[in-house]
Amino acid sequence: MDTPLKRTPLYDAHVKAGARMVPFGGWEMPVQYAGIVEEHRTVRSAVGLFDVSHMGEFEIAGPDALAVLQYLTTNDVAALQDGQVQYSVLCYPNGTIVDDLTVYRLGPDRFMLTVNAGNIDKDWAWVNQSTERGTKARWRNVSEETGLIAVQGPKAETLVGRVADRDVTKLGYYRFVRGTVRGVSTLVSRTGYTGEDGFELYVPAADTARLWAALLDLGRADGAAPIGLGARDTLRLEMKYALYGNDIDETTNALEAGLGWVVKPAKGDFIGRDALEKVRAEGVRRKLVGLEMVDKAVARHGYAVHKAGRPVGVVTSGSYGPSVDRYIAMAYVETALAAIGTALDVEVRGQAKAARVVRTPFYPSRVKKAG
Protein backbone atom coordinates (compact mmCIF):
# COMPACT_ATOMS: atom_id res chain seq x y z
CA MET A 1 0.00 0.00 0.00
CA ASP A 2 1.23 3.50 -0.77
CA THR A 3 2.06 5.67 2.19
CA PRO A 4 0.28 9.02 1.85
CA LEU A 5 2.63 11.82 0.86
CA LYS A 6 3.61 14.27 3.56
CA ARG A 7 3.07 18.00 3.17
CA THR A 8 5.13 20.93 4.43
CA PRO A 9 3.57 23.96 6.16
CA LEU A 10 3.78 25.72 2.78
CA TYR A 11 1.71 23.21 0.80
CA ASP A 12 -1.31 25.50 0.50
CA ALA A 13 0.86 28.44 -0.53
CA HIS A 14 2.44 26.37 -3.32
CA VAL A 15 -0.90 25.18 -4.68
CA LYS A 16 -2.32 28.68 -4.53
CA ALA A 17 0.72 30.01 -6.43
CA GLY A 18 0.05 27.48 -9.19
CA ALA A 19 3.05 25.28 -8.52
CA ARG A 20 3.22 21.85 -10.09
CA MET A 21 3.32 19.42 -7.18
CA VAL A 22 5.18 16.11 -7.42
CA PRO A 23 6.16 13.30 -5.05
CA PHE A 24 9.73 13.64 -3.75
CA GLY A 25 11.25 11.47 -1.04
CA GLY A 26 7.82 10.77 0.46
CA TRP A 27 6.74 14.42 0.25
CA GLU A 28 4.43 16.33 -2.03
CA MET A 29 6.66 19.17 -3.20
CA PRO A 30 6.62 21.94 -5.84
CA VAL A 31 8.82 20.97 -8.79
CA GLN A 32 8.24 24.26 -10.60
CA TYR A 33 6.24 27.48 -10.55
CA ALA A 34 7.08 29.67 -13.55
CA GLY A 35 9.37 27.12 -15.23
CA ILE A 36 12.64 25.50 -14.24
CA VAL A 37 14.95 27.52 -16.47
CA GLU A 38 13.37 30.85 -15.54
CA GLU A 39 13.50 29.98 -11.83
CA HIS A 40 17.13 28.90 -12.16
CA ARG A 41 17.97 32.31 -13.69
CA THR A 42 16.06 34.13 -10.96
CA VAL A 43 18.35 32.57 -8.34
CA ARG A 44 21.54 33.35 -10.31
CA SER A 45 20.49 36.96 -11.04
CA ALA A 46 18.22 38.06 -8.17
CA VAL A 47 16.87 35.96 -5.31
CA GLY A 48 14.78 32.83 -4.98
CA LEU A 49 12.84 31.34 -2.11
CA PHE A 50 12.86 27.58 -1.63
CA ASP A 51 10.62 25.56 0.63
CA VAL A 52 12.98 22.99 2.12
CA SER A 53 10.82 22.29 5.15
CA HIS A 54 10.77 18.64 4.13
CA MET A 55 14.36 18.28 5.31
CA GLY A 56 14.86 16.67 8.71
CA GLU A 57 16.32 18.22 11.85
CA PHE A 58 17.59 16.27 14.83
CA GLU A 59 18.87 17.84 18.02
CA ILE A 60 21.26 16.17 20.41
CA ALA A 61 22.01 17.55 23.86
CA GLY A 62 23.99 16.40 26.85
CA PRO A 63 27.55 16.10 28.13
CA ASP A 64 28.30 13.31 25.64
CA ALA A 65 26.73 15.00 22.60
CA LEU A 66 30.10 15.90 21.10
CA ALA A 67 31.50 12.40 21.63
CA VAL A 68 28.42 10.82 20.05
CA LEU A 69 28.68 13.05 16.98
CA GLN A 70 32.41 12.45 16.69
CA TYR A 71 31.66 8.75 16.47
CA LEU A 72 28.70 9.08 14.08
CA THR A 73 30.01 11.63 11.60
CA THR A 74 33.19 11.78 9.53
CA ASN A 75 34.09 15.45 10.01
CA ASP A 76 35.74 16.82 13.15
CA VAL A 77 32.90 18.20 15.26
CA ALA A 78 35.41 19.39 17.89
CA ALA A 79 36.54 22.04 15.41
CA LEU A 80 33.11 23.70 15.61
CA GLN A 81 32.48 26.76 17.75
CA ASP A 82 29.05 27.98 18.80
CA GLY A 83 27.40 29.57 15.78
CA GLN A 84 29.29 27.45 13.26
CA VAL A 85 28.02 24.91 10.77
CA GLN A 86 29.83 21.94 9.28
CA TYR A 87 29.10 19.79 6.26
CA SER A 88 29.56 16.12 7.09
CA VAL A 89 28.66 12.53 6.31
CA LEU A 90 27.17 9.60 8.20
CA CYS A 91 28.93 6.44 7.05
CA TYR A 92 28.30 2.73 7.39
CA PRO A 93 31.20 0.66 8.76
CA ASN A 94 32.27 -0.09 5.17
CA GLY A 95 32.64 3.63 4.37
CA THR A 96 29.54 3.95 2.20
CA ILE A 97 27.05 6.67 2.93
CA VAL A 98 23.99 6.67 5.20
CA ASP A 99 23.40 10.35 4.47
CA ASP A 100 25.13 13.69 4.03
CA LEU A 101 24.17 16.43 6.44
CA THR A 102 25.06 19.68 8.13
CA VAL A 103 25.96 19.89 11.82
CA TYR A 104 25.16 23.05 13.81
CA ARG A 105 26.81 23.72 17.14
CA LEU A 106 24.03 25.37 19.18
CA GLY A 107 26.06 25.25 22.39
CA PRO A 108 29.02 23.41 23.90
CA ASP A 109 26.94 20.26 24.38
CA ARG A 110 24.04 20.95 22.07
CA PHE A 111 23.94 20.39 18.31
CA MET A 112 21.46 20.23 15.44
CA LEU A 113 21.79 17.95 12.42
CA THR A 114 20.00 18.71 9.16
CA VAL A 115 19.41 15.57 7.09
CA ASN A 116 17.82 14.73 3.75
CA ALA A 117 14.03 14.46 3.67
CA GLY A 118 13.96 10.99 2.16
CA ASN A 119 16.34 9.71 4.83
CA ILE A 120 14.71 11.05 8.01
CA ASP A 121 13.38 7.70 9.25
CA LYS A 122 16.52 5.78 8.29
CA ASP A 123 18.80 8.38 9.86
CA TRP A 124 16.71 8.60 13.00
CA ALA A 125 16.99 4.84 13.48
CA TRP A 126 20.69 4.97 12.65
CA VAL A 127 21.68 7.72 15.10
CA ASN A 128 19.66 6.13 17.88
CA GLN A 129 20.94 2.63 17.22
CA SER A 130 24.50 3.88 17.00
CA THR A 131 24.34 5.80 20.24
CA GLU A 132 25.37 3.55 23.06
CA ARG A 133 22.85 3.02 25.78
CA GLY A 134 23.47 5.05 28.90
CA THR A 135 25.39 7.70 27.05
CA LYS A 136 24.71 11.11 28.50
CA ALA A 137 23.17 12.62 25.41
CA ARG A 138 19.55 12.78 24.28
CA TRP A 139 18.27 12.90 20.73
CA ARG A 140 15.18 14.81 19.69
CA ASN A 141 13.63 14.64 16.24
CA VAL A 142 12.38 18.19 15.63
CA SER A 143 11.69 17.72 11.89
CA GLU A 144 7.91 18.11 12.18
CA GLU A 145 8.03 21.25 14.26
CA THR A 146 10.66 22.93 12.07
CA GLY A 147 10.05 24.83 8.85
CA LEU A 148 12.95 25.70 6.56
CA ILE A 149 13.08 28.42 3.91
CA ALA A 150 16.18 28.88 1.74
CA VAL A 151 16.74 32.41 0.42
CA GLN A 152 19.37 32.21 -2.31
CA GLY A 153 20.84 34.62 -4.84
CA PRO A 154 22.86 37.83 -5.16
CA LYS A 155 19.97 39.80 -3.61
CA ALA A 156 19.50 37.40 -0.69
CA GLU A 157 21.56 39.53 1.70
CA THR A 158 19.57 42.63 0.83
CA LEU A 159 16.28 40.85 1.38
CA VAL A 160 17.15 39.02 4.59
CA GLY A 161 19.07 42.04 5.86
CA ARG A 162 15.95 44.13 5.54
CA VAL A 163 13.79 41.83 7.65
CA ALA A 164 16.17 40.32 10.23
CA ASP A 165 16.79 41.96 13.60
CA ARG A 166 20.46 40.93 13.38
CA ASP A 167 23.16 42.29 11.07
CA VAL A 168 23.32 39.36 8.70
CA THR A 169 25.77 41.13 6.39
CA LYS A 170 28.52 40.23 8.89
CA LEU A 171 27.54 36.58 8.97
CA GLY A 172 30.19 34.40 7.27
CA TYR A 173 29.65 31.30 5.16
CA TYR A 174 28.67 28.29 7.26
CA ARG A 175 27.91 30.51 10.23
CA PHE A 176 24.54 31.04 11.89
CA VAL A 177 22.88 33.38 14.33
CA ARG A 178 19.60 33.26 16.21
CA GLY A 179 17.26 36.20 15.94
CA THR A 180 13.88 37.20 14.71
CA VAL A 181 12.87 37.74 11.11
CA ARG A 182 9.64 39.69 10.66
CA GLY A 183 8.82 38.82 14.25
CA VAL A 184 9.41 35.09 13.72
CA SER A 185 12.01 33.38 15.91
CA THR A 186 14.60 32.21 13.39
CA LEU A 187 17.92 30.45 13.15
CA VAL A 188 19.58 32.32 10.29
CA SER A 189 22.20 30.15 8.61
CA ARG A 190 24.52 31.35 5.85
CA THR A 191 24.37 28.13 3.90
CA GLY A 192 22.70 26.84 0.77
CA TYR A 193 22.66 24.41 -2.13
CA THR A 194 22.84 26.70 -5.14
CA GLY A 195 26.36 28.15 -5.31
CA GLU A 196 24.93 31.61 -4.72
CA ASP A 197 25.21 33.67 -1.57
CA GLY A 198 22.22 33.12 0.64
CA PHE A 199 20.61 31.92 3.81
CA GLU A 200 18.62 29.07 5.20
CA LEU A 201 16.01 30.17 7.73
CA TYR A 202 14.97 27.60 10.35
CA VAL A 203 11.65 28.66 11.83
CA PRO A 204 8.79 27.13 13.84
CA ALA A 205 6.53 25.15 11.50
CA ALA A 206 3.53 27.22 12.60
CA ASP A 207 5.19 30.48 11.48
CA THR A 208 6.63 29.25 8.19
CA ALA A 209 3.74 30.26 5.94
CA ARG A 210 3.60 33.75 7.42
CA LEU A 211 7.33 34.31 6.91
CA TRP A 212 7.20 32.84 3.38
CA ALA A 213 4.45 35.26 2.37
CA ALA A 214 6.25 38.21 3.95
CA LEU A 215 9.56 37.40 2.22
CA LEU A 216 7.86 37.04 -1.18
CA ASP A 217 6.02 40.28 -0.68
CA LEU A 218 9.00 42.27 0.58
CA GLY A 219 11.33 40.67 -1.94
CA ARG A 220 9.27 41.63 -4.95
CA ALA A 221 11.38 44.78 -5.41
CA ASP A 222 14.49 42.57 -5.49
CA GLY A 223 12.96 40.23 -8.05
CA ALA A 224 12.22 37.48 -5.52
CA ALA A 225 10.22 34.47 -6.69
CA PRO A 226 9.43 31.01 -5.35
CA ILE A 227 11.69 28.28 -6.74
CA GLY A 228 10.82 24.61 -7.14
CA LEU A 229 12.84 21.44 -6.76
CA GLY A 230 13.52 21.35 -10.50
CA ALA A 231 15.68 24.48 -10.41
CA ARG A 232 17.14 23.44 -7.06
CA ASP A 233 18.46 20.40 -8.91
CA THR A 234 19.94 22.27 -11.90
CA LEU A 235 21.50 24.87 -9.56
CA ARG A 236 23.21 22.25 -7.41
CA LEU A 237 24.26 20.27 -10.50
CA GLU A 238 26.11 23.30 -11.89
CA MET A 239 28.03 23.36 -8.58
CA LYS A 240 28.62 19.57 -8.62
CA TYR A 241 27.02 19.36 -5.18
CA ALA A 242 26.13 15.72 -4.51
CA LEU A 243 22.47 14.75 -4.15
CA TYR A 244 21.78 11.79 -1.91
CA GLY A 245 20.07 9.01 -3.84
CA ASN A 246 21.58 10.22 -7.13
CA ASP A 247 25.32 10.76 -6.67
CA ILE A 248 25.88 9.29 -3.23
CA ASP A 249 24.16 6.43 -1.43
CA GLU A 250 24.83 3.21 0.45
CA THR A 251 26.88 1.86 -2.48
CA THR A 252 29.28 4.79 -2.83
CA ASN A 253 32.03 5.59 -0.37
CA ALA A 254 32.76 9.08 0.84
CA LEU A 255 36.22 9.24 -0.75
CA GLU A 256 35.24 8.25 -4.29
CA ALA A 257 32.38 10.76 -3.99
CA GLY A 258 34.99 13.51 -3.53
CA LEU A 259 33.99 14.10 0.09
CA GLY A 260 37.44 13.34 1.49
CA TRP A 261 37.63 16.93 2.69
CA VAL A 262 35.08 16.11 5.39
CA VAL A 263 36.67 12.76 6.38
CA LYS A 264 38.97 13.40 9.34
CA PRO A 265 40.57 10.20 10.67
CA ALA A 266 42.96 12.21 12.86
CA LYS A 267 40.07 13.11 15.18
CA GLY A 268 39.77 9.54 16.48
CA ASP A 269 37.42 6.65 15.91
CA PHE A 270 34.20 6.99 13.93
CA ILE A 271 31.93 4.65 12.02
CA GLY A 272 33.55 3.90 8.68
CA ARG A 273 37.00 5.14 9.67
CA ASP A 274 38.90 1.88 9.19
CA ALA A 275 37.29 1.19 5.84
CA LEU A 276 37.94 4.74 4.60
CA GLU A 277 41.55 4.63 5.84
CA LYS A 278 42.04 1.47 3.82
CA VAL A 279 40.47 3.06 0.73
CA ARG A 280 42.67 6.11 1.19
CA ALA A 281 45.80 3.98 1.49
CA GLU A 282 44.96 1.86 -1.56
CA GLY A 283 43.58 4.74 -3.59
CA VAL A 284 39.99 5.03 -4.83
CA ARG A 285 38.99 2.78 -7.72
CA ARG A 286 36.64 5.35 -9.20
CA LYS A 287 35.93 9.05 -8.83
CA LEU A 288 32.91 11.27 -9.12
CA VAL A 289 33.77 13.67 -11.95
CA GLY A 290 32.08 16.44 -13.88
CA LEU A 291 31.30 15.70 -17.52
CA GLU A 292 30.45 18.08 -20.28
CA MET A 293 28.75 16.62 -23.34
CA VAL A 294 30.69 17.26 -26.55
CA ASP A 295 28.00 15.70 -28.74
CA LYS A 296 24.51 17.08 -28.38
CA ALA A 297 22.80 14.76 -25.87
CA VAL A 298 21.52 14.79 -22.32
CA ALA A 299 23.27 12.34 -19.97
CA ARG A 300 20.90 11.05 -17.30
CA HIS A 301 21.18 9.15 -14.02
CA GLY A 302 22.07 5.52 -14.71
CA TYR A 303 23.46 5.96 -18.24
CA ALA A 304 26.67 4.00 -18.86
CA VAL A 305 30.01 5.73 -19.45
CA HIS A 306 32.36 4.11 -21.98
CA LYS A 307 35.95 4.51 -23.12
CA ALA A 308 36.64 3.05 -26.57
CA GLY A 309 33.59 0.81 -26.21
CA ARG A 310 34.52 -0.49 -22.74
CA PRO A 311 32.21 0.31 -19.79
CA VAL A 312 34.17 2.47 -17.35
CA GLY A 313 31.53 4.16 -15.23
CA VAL A 314 28.03 5.46 -14.75
CA VAL A 315 26.26 8.82 -14.85
CA THR A 316 24.72 9.82 -11.51
CA SER A 317 23.15 13.18 -12.41
CA GLY A 318 22.77 15.01 -15.69
CA SER A 319 20.76 17.74 -17.31
CA TYR A 320 20.96 20.97 -19.20
CA GLY A 321 22.79 23.60 -17.16
CA PRO A 322 20.94 26.87 -17.82
CA SER A 323 23.77 29.14 -16.58
CA VAL A 324 26.51 27.33 -18.49
CA ASP A 325 24.23 26.66 -21.49
CA ARG A 326 25.63 23.16 -21.87
CA TYR A 327 24.59 19.59 -21.21
CA ILE A 328 26.45 18.62 -18.05
CA ALA A 329 26.62 15.57 -15.82
CA MET A 330 28.23 13.94 -12.84
CA ALA A 331 29.56 10.41 -13.21
CA TYR A 332 31.67 7.84 -11.46
CA VAL A 333 34.54 6.80 -13.71
CA GLU A 334 37.63 4.67 -13.20
CA THR A 335 40.31 6.69 -11.44
CA ALA A 336 42.70 6.43 -14.40
CA LEU A 337 40.09 8.18 -16.57
CA ALA A 338 39.17 10.93 -14.10
CA ALA A 339 41.74 13.52 -15.22
CA ILE A 340 40.45 16.85 -16.56
CA GLY A 341 40.20 16.69 -20.35
CA THR A 342 39.76 12.92 -20.62
CA ALA A 343 37.56 12.01 -23.57
CA LEU A 344 34.76 9.56 -22.73
CA ASP A 345 31.45 8.45 -24.21
CA VAL A 346 28.05 8.38 -22.58
CA GLU A 347 25.68 5.74 -23.90
CA VAL A 348 22.44 7.53 -24.74
CA ARG A 349 19.66 5.30 -26.08
CA GLY A 350 22.20 2.81 -27.39
CA GLN A 351 24.45 5.38 -29.02
CA ALA A 352 27.87 6.57 -27.86
CA LYS A 353 27.81 10.33 -27.35
CA ALA A 354 31.13 12.12 -26.83
CA ALA A 355 31.81 13.77 -23.48
CA ARG A 356 34.85 15.02 -21.63
CA VAL A 357 35.89 15.37 -18.02
CA VAL A 358 35.90 19.04 -17.05
CA ARG A 359 36.85 21.16 -14.08
CA THR A 360 34.11 21.73 -11.53
CA PRO A 361 32.10 23.53 -10.37
CA PHE A 362 30.71 23.93 -13.87
CA TYR A 363 29.64 27.46 -12.92
CA PRO A 364 31.74 29.66 -10.58
CA SER A 365 30.57 29.58 -6.98
CA ARG A 366 29.56 32.92 -5.52
CA VAL A 367 29.00 31.83 -1.94
CA LYS A 368 30.20 34.27 0.67
CA LYS A 369 33.57 33.28 2.04
CA ALA A 370 34.02 32.34 5.69
CA GLY A 371 34.08 35.35 7.97
Partner 1 sequence: MPNVPTDLKYTREHEWAKQDGARVRVGITAYAQEQLGDVVFVELPKVGARVTAKKPFGVVESVKAVSDLFAPVSGEVVEVNADLPNKPETVNQDPYGRGWMIVIAPSNVGEWDTLLTAAQYEEFLAQGGH
Binding site for partner 1 (CB under 8 A): 20, 31-32, 35-38, 230, 233-234, 296-298, 300, 319-320, 327, 349
Cβ 298 to partner 1 shortest distance, Å = 5
Residues 63, 69, 71, 72: is their CA dihedral positive or negative? positive
Cα separation, 83 vs 176, in Å, equals: 5
Cβ 270 to partner 1 shortest distance, Å = 37
**Residue whose CB is less far from partner 1, 328 or 357:** 328
Query: Which has the closest alpha carbon to 333: 349, 348, 345?
Result: 345
Cβ 43 to partner 1 shortest distance, Å = 14
Q: Are the CB atoms for 74 and 100 separated by under 8 Å?
A: no
82: amino acid identity, one letter: D
**Residue whose CB is less far from partner 1, 40 or 368:** 40
**Residue whose CB is less far from partner 1, 33 or 176:** 33
**Residue whose CB is less far from partner 1, 234 or 342:** 234
Cα separation, 278 vs 288, in Å, equals: 19
**Residue whose CB is less far from partner 1, 70 or 234:** 234
**Residue whose CB is less far from partner 1, 92 or 320:** 320
**Residue whose CB is less far from partner 1, 56 or 228:** 228
**Residue whose CB is less far from partner 1, 29 or 65:** 29
Cβ 320 to partner 1 shortest distance, Å = 4
**Residue whose CB is less far from partner 1, 58 or 327:** 327
Torsion of CA 90, 125, 108, 168, to 10 degrees: 70
Cβ 258 to partner 1 shortest distance, Å = 24
Cα separation, 199 vs 52, in Å, equals: 12
Cα separation, 329 vs 319, in Å, equals: 6
